[in-house]
Structure 1
Amino acid sequence: MTMPFVVPRPPELEPATWPAYGLTTLTVLPLVWRRRAPLAVLLAIVATSGLYRLALEGPGQPLPYTGLLSLYTVAVLSPGPKRLAAAVVVTFAVPVSVWLNTQSARELTFSVFVFAAAYVFGRLTDARRRTHRVEEERAAARERARIAREMHDILSHAVSLMIVQAEAGPLAVRKAPERAEAAFDAISATGREAMTQLRSMLGVLRDEGPASADGPVPAPRAPQPGLAELPALLDRVRDGGLDVTCTTADFEPPLPRATGATAYRIVQEALTNVVKHAGASRVTVRLDHGPDGGDALRIRVTDDGRGPRGEPGSGGTGTGGHGLLGIRERAAAHGGTATTGPGPDGRGFELRAVLPLEAR
C-alpha cells in the first residue's frame, strides 16, 4: 500500500481518505482465514476490491497482492470443484477490474499472466507436498518392516531357545540334575537378554527412557550386535544341546558396522530355524571372503537335519515363514542375496547369503 501521508500523492489525484484506507484494510483482513476457507476468502477479497474500486478513490496498489495470495492458497489447499469455481470467479473479475481501471490490452495481458502464474505455483506446491507425503509413507513402511524384522529375530530366537531348554529340563532333572540347573540358567539368561534388547528398541522408538527427577532420560542407543557378539550367540545355542561349529575369517580392516549387524542377524535367524524346525544335532556356520579377493562376505549355515520340505515355517524352500523372508529382506537391503536349499550330498539344509563389502 502506498503511504500518501508520508509521500504525498500527485496533485492531479485526489488525496487519500481514511475510509479508503479502512476499505483497503478489509481487502487484507480476510487473509487471516485463508487456510481455513480459501475459496470464501477469495470471494470476500474480490467483493471488497470491487467495492473499493467503485465507491472510493484511494491509494491503490500496483499489484492485487491479496487476490494473488488468496488464489494461490485455493490452488494449494482446495479440491478440484472449488478450484474450478475460483477460476471462474477470477476469469470474470480480472477483465472487469481492467475495464474499470485503464481498459488497456496491456493491463489485461499482464493481469491474466500474474493470476495464472499464482495458480500454477499453487498447483506445483500441492504436487510437491503430495510427493513428499508419498515418500514419507514409503519411509514409514520401510521402517515398520525393519522394526518387525528386528523384533521377530529377537523374540523368535529367544523363545525358541527357551522352549528347547524347557523341554529338555524334565529329562535332565531325572538323569543329570546338574544339566537341569544349567538349562534353567540358560533359560533365564536368554530371557533377560531378549528383554534387554526389546527395552532398548522400544526405548528408541519412544525416543526417551524412564522419567527421573530431572525429567525424561534419553533412551539408550547401543549399536546393533555384530560379529563380535557372535560367539555369545553360538554359546547360547550350544547350551540348548546343539553341536555348533563356527569358522570365521579374519577381516582386515574390520567389517563395517552395518555389514556386521546384518551378518549377525542372518546367522541368528538361521540358527533359530535350525532349532525350531530342522531336528538337527549338528550345525556348521562359516563366514569368509569371496573367492575373488574379498568383494563380499559369504555366509553359510549348514545342518544335518531333515532338510527342506517346502512347508510354511519349515525352514525349507517354501514361501511360508517369516524367518527366511526376513533373511532375504536383510540381505537385499544390504545389496546382497540369500538362497536356501539342501545341504551337501542332499542331506540337511543349507542357507547361503552374500553381502557386498563396498560399504568399506
Structure 2
Amino acid sequence: MPFVVPRGPELEPATWPAYGLTTLTVVPLVWRRRAPLAVLLAVMAASALYKLALEGPGQPLPYTGLLSLYTIAVLSPPWKRLVSGLLMLVAVPVSVWLNTQSVRELTFSLFVFGAAYAFGRLADARQRAHRVEAEQAAARERARIAREMHDILSHAVSLMIVQAEAGPLAVRAAPARAEAAFEAISATGRDAMVQLRRMLGVLRDEQDSAGSSPRAPQPGLGELPELLARVRGGGLDVRYATEGAERPLPEATGATVFRIVQEALTNVVKHAGARSVAVRLGYGPGGLEVRVTDDGRGPHGEPAAGSGGHGLLGVRERAAAHGGTASAGPGPDGRGFEVRAVIPWEAG
C-alpha cells in the first residue's frame, strides 16, 4: 500500500527489508500440506521478527497464521493439534501485549484463531464422512458385481455340466440328441463369455482406442425365451406363462426379473432333480410377481458340495433393491420347490 497511498509523515518510510519479512510470512504456506506444524512455526517466527525488528509497511494481518492453524486442524494427528493449540494460547496473548495490550483485541484474536481451528475440524469430519460414503458405495458395487458374476457363471456352468454328463449316454443311444447337447454346451459357453465381456467392459476405466468394449444393456424380459430354451436343451421340461395385463418394465427391473428367473432355474438344474419347472410372471395391480416352481425333491434336497449357497440370498438382495421381497420354500401342496419374488411397480 505505501507504493499506492503515501504513508503519513509521522511514520517511518517503508523499506525493502520490511517487505522481505512480510513475504517470509507468506512463502512457507507453499509447504503447509506437507509440514503444517513446521509452517506454523516458520510463520510465527517471521511475524515475531517483523514486529520486533522492523516497523513494517502497515498492519501485519494474521491471515497466514490462521491458514496454517486451519491446515493443522484438517490434516494433523491429535498430538500435533494439541501442540499447536497450546502454542497459540501463548503466542496470541504475547502478540496482543506487544501490540495494543487491549482486552478487546485479545478476545477478537482468540475468537478468530479458535474459529479457524473449528472450521478445520469440521472440514476433516466432512472429508471422513465422504470417505465412508465412498467405501460403502464401493462395497455395494462389489456386492452387485459378485451377484452378477455368480448368476452368469453358476447358470452357465450348471447347464454345461448337466448336458456334458448326458452326452456320453446320448452318443451311444441317440447321436442326434448328443449333437444337440454339444451344440447347447457351446451356445451356453458363448453366451456366458458374451455376458462376462459385457460386464468387464463396463468395469474398465477406459475404452480401448478402437472402442470395442461392449456397452450393451443388461438382459431383460426379452431374453427370457432364449434362457428357457437353453434350459430345455439340458433335458428339463420348462413351461412359461404370464398372468394379467403385461406392461413395459424399466431396464433395471427387467434385468432383475431375468436374473431371478435365471438363478431359480440354476438351482433347479443343480439341486432339485426335477423333470419339469414352471415359470410364471403375474402382472398385478401392486407389482410384478415372479414364481418358479419345480417338481423335484423340494427344500430337503441336499445341494451340491461346494455350491456356496449364495444364489437365493442374491435373489432376495435383487428384489430388495427394488423395494420388493423374495421367498423360497415348498411348492404347492408341499411338493417340489418354489422361488417367489414380488417387485412393486414403484419401488420405495
The 2-side partners of 1:248 and 1:39 are apart by 70
SS at match of 2:26: helix
CA deviation profile, 1:4-49 (whole Å, cap 9, x unmatched): 1122122222111100111111111110000001111111111111
The 1-side partners of 2:61 and 2:315 are apart by 62
Mapping 1:11-26, distance limit 5 Å: 11-26=9-24
Is this contact kept in 2: 1:207–1:218, CA < 8 A? no
Taking a change above 3 Å as real, the CA distance of residues 177 and 218 of structure 1, as seen in their structure-2 partners, is closer
The structure 2 residue matched to 1:324, chosen from 298, 307, 312, is 312
The structure 2 residue matched to 1:339, chosen from 322, 327, 339, is 327
When the two structures are aligned, how many residues end up with a matched partner?
347
Partner of 1:192: 190
Q: Please tell me the residue identity of whatever aligns with 2:198.
A: S
Is this contact kept in 2: 1:308–1:341, CA < 8 A? yes
Partner of 1:260: 254
Mapping 1:69-148, distance limit 5 Å: 69-148=67-146
Q: What percent of counterpart residues are identical?
A: 78
Partner of 1:279: 273
The 1-side partners of 2:253 and 2:139 are apart by 22
Taking a change above 3 Å as real, the CA distance of residues 62 and 48 of structure 1, as seen in their structure-2 partners, is closer
CA deviation profile, 1:268-304 (whole Å, cap 9, x unmatched): 00000000000000001111123xxx21110111000
The structure 1 residue matched to 2:338, chosen from 350, 353, 357, is 350
The 2-side partners of 1:261 and 1:309 are apart by 30
The 2-side partners of 1:106 and 1:218 are apart by 69
Is this contact kept in 1: 2:244–2:283, CA < 8 A? no
Partner of 2:3: 5
SS at match of 2:188: helix
Question: Aligned Cα RMSD in Å?
Answer: 1.8
Q: CA deviation at 1:320?
A: 6.0
The 2-side partners of 1:166 and 1:252 are apart by 37
1:51 and 2:45 matched: no
Taking a change above 3 Å as real, the CA distance of residues 91 and 312 of structure 1, as seen in their structure-2 partners, is farther
Is this contact kept in 2: 1:256–1:359, CA < 8 A? no
The 2-side partners of 1:21 and 1:181 are apart by 91
CA deviation profile, 1:214-233 (whole Å, cap 9, x unmatched): x3526322111111110000
Is this contact kept in 2: 1:313–1:322, CA < 8 A? no
Is this contact kept in 2: 1:274–1:280, CA < 8 A? yes
SS at match of 1:354: strand
Is this contact kept in 1: 2:32–2:71, CA < 8 A? yes
Q: Which runs of 4+ in 1 moved over 4 A?
A: 310-314
The 2-side partners of 1:309 and 1:11 are apart by 101
Is this contact kept in 2: 1:27–1:45, CA < 8 A? yes
Is this contact kept in 1: 2:197–2:214, CA < 8 A? no
Taking a change above 3 Å as real, the CA distance of residues 313 and 49 of structure 1, as seen in their structure-2 partners, is farther
The 1-side partners of 2:149 and 2:347 are apart by 25
TM-score by length of 1: 0.93
Mapping 1:295-310, distance limit 5 Å: 295-309=286-300
Is this contact kept in 2: 1:207–1:219, CA < 8 A? no
